[in-house]
Amino acid sequence: MFNSQLPEHRSMRRSTHIGAVLLAAGIALGGLLAPLSGHAQYPSKPIKLIASSAPGTAPDTIARVVGERLSPLFRQPIIVENRAGSNGNIAMDLVAKSAPDGYTLIICTDSNVVINPHLYAKMLVDTLKDLVPVATVASNTLFLSVHPSVPVTNFQEFIEYAKKANPPLAYASAGSGSLFQMAMEMLKVRAGIDLVHVPYKGAAAAAIATIAGEVPAMFSGGTSTVPYIRAGRLRGLAVTGHNRSPLFPELPTLSEFYPSYHMSTWLGIFAPAGLPDAVIARLRADINRVLAMPEVKERLYAVGGLEPYVTTPQEFAALIRADYEKYGKLVKQIGAKAD
């Protein structure tokens, strides 16, 4: 009787062993599929897109234009929230401390990411480690403009006027260490002129001050400058891009006078570090789809010559590294600081 039951026991043991193996494999596979399933369902709720500046600025405008078209692709609302203050540091800290799940993003200017770390003695966020780049979204040239009362009609006359000015002319910027200050400080070195920096709290405030005649000159992006040049309340003199602006083709590029001079501003979308690659890839792909839409190009261009700016992940990472080093040297050279 013992021998007649032995095959049955062996069969039962083999069956139990196979079942245990399958159960273990199922648990392991389930552990792998669970996060993948979660990523595949992304997004499953509204996404918050933080603009690092006030309403009406370039980050805010781009966030709303891109968010409006991104929402149908995601089948979820894109909620734009403005968190201005400390040149974007407040907004970046908020996002860096958020869960890396793709539901809290930020649109930053280049100065937020690559200039602030050199400018502020204390930073709550390490922009190179605590934030992960998702996608570039737009770029813009800078405009050199003056109040109409300044007795110059072109760039060459401005340089000659600035050289003779006593006391030196003042210029407005969006704040200490802003890209607009960097642009003027670079021009001062190249042209051999002296101007006094007057920082304001944001590009809009700097533009209003220049329009009011509080300061005679400024560098600024198209969003806060182009409408006033068109209205005759500011006089455009030059642009900082590689090419002349189609908005004002009569304005020369600074590189026409100083071949190595070039500066443009870029804006990009970032997320908290740790965001899964699958989510980053999904975000980047759909953001790039939106930037390719003709109506998006038109709307961005209409608010000051903003242009969609698409890069690969490698190009975006290289851009951040290069600008981080470039502006770090310039901040140190001019001794700029911010509290």
Residues 6+ apart with CB under 8 A from 220: 142, 143, 145, 174, 180, 203, 206, 207
Angle between helix 2-40 and helix 277-291 axes, rounded to 10 deg: 30
CATH number, domain 142-256: 3.40.190.10
Among 100, 189, 136, residue whose Cα is nearest residue 323: 136
The CA distance from 182 to 331, in Å, is 8
Torsion of CA 110, 307, 154, 254, to 10 degrees: 50
Residues 115, 123: Cα–Cα separation, whole Å: 12
Tell me how far apart the alpha carbons of residues 37 and 163 are, in angstroms, rounded to a whole number: 65
199 Cβ contact partners less than 8 Å away, ≥ 6 residues apart: 172, 173, 174, 175, 176, 178, 181
Long-range contacts, 255-258 (Cβ 8 Å, 24+) = 257/155, 257/156, 257/191, 258/190, 258/191
- 142-256 matches 47-140+264-334 in CATH topology: yes
Token pair of 162 as six digits: 């600035």
> Which residue from 102, 109, 111 is spatially nearest to 132, judged by alpha carbons?
102
Q: Contact 151/161 with Cβ under 8 angstroms?
A: yes
Q: Does the global pTM surpass 0.85?
A: no
Per-residue pLDDT of the chain (339 residues; tens, 9 = 90+): 334 343 444 444 444 444 443 334 444 344 334 343 445 589 999 999 999 888 888 899 999 999 999 999 999 999 999 998 888 999 999 999 999 999 999 999 999 999 999 999 899 999 999 999 999 999 999 999 999 999 999 999 999 999 999 999 999 998 888 899 999 999 999 999 999 999 998 888 899 999 999 999 999 988 888 999 999 999 999 999 989 999 999 999 999 999 989 888 999 999 999 999 999 999 999 999 999 999 999 999 988 889 999 999 999 999 999 999 999 998 998 888 886
Domains of the chain, by residue range, sit at: 47-140+264-334, 142-256
Measured torsion, CA atoms of residues 146, 151, 154, 155, in degrees rounded to the nearest 10: -70
Query: Tokens 């310039």 belong to which residue?
Result: 330
The closest of 108, 111, 5 to 58, measured between CA atoms, is 108
Residue in 219, 240, 264 with CA at minimum distance from that of residue 111: 264
47-140+264-334 under CATH 3.30.1360.200, yes or no? no
Element (H, E) at 25: helix 2-40
